[in-house]
Amino acid sequence: ELKVEQNPLFLSMQEGKNYTIYCNYSTTSDRLYWYRQDPGKSLESLFVLLSNGAVKQEGRLMASLDTKARLSTLHITAAVHDLSATYFCAVQTLQNQAGTALIFGKGTTLSVSS
């Protein structure tokens, strides 16, 4: 059974400092996603990582994937208040060329303070 673990689950950040969220998964996966969710809202897709060594960056967020270690990281550079939200990683294994379910981590809730 594919399991996804995120840590930390809560992260209190100071503005301007750097932080990293970790996402470990238990079995081979084809794709890894990062989503952002604001309170009471839906999920916003941030990154899709497809291959070992993949690195994607958008603004202050950078995601990377190490398939051998079964680990993805989401790095936050110089945190700002706008980044306060819950971040989920999700893993997908493709079977028979058909889409399959996403398996989500429990999420990491970020809170940025001045």
Partner 1 sequence: NAGVMQNPRHLVRRRGQEARLRCSPMKGHSHVYWYRQLPEEGLKFMVYLQKENIIDESGMPKERFSAEFPKEGPSILRIQQVVRGDSAAYFCASSPYSGTTVIRNEQFFGPGTRLTVL
Pairing label, strands 55-58, 71-76: unpaired
Nearer to partner 1 among residue 68 and residue 99 (C-beta): 99
Locus of tokens 């990154």? 47
| Bridge partners (DSSP) listed for residue 46 | none
Locus of tokens 């503005």? 15
Nearer to partner 1 among residue 77 and residue 104 (C-beta): 104
Q: What would the x/- binding string for partner 1 be over residues 79 to 108, using CB under 8 A? A: ---------x-x-x-x--xxxxxxxxxxx-
Using DSSP, state whether 71 is helix, strand or coil: strand
Residues that bind partner 1 (CB under 8 A): 31, 33, 35, 40-43, 45, 48, 88, 90, 92, 94, 97-107
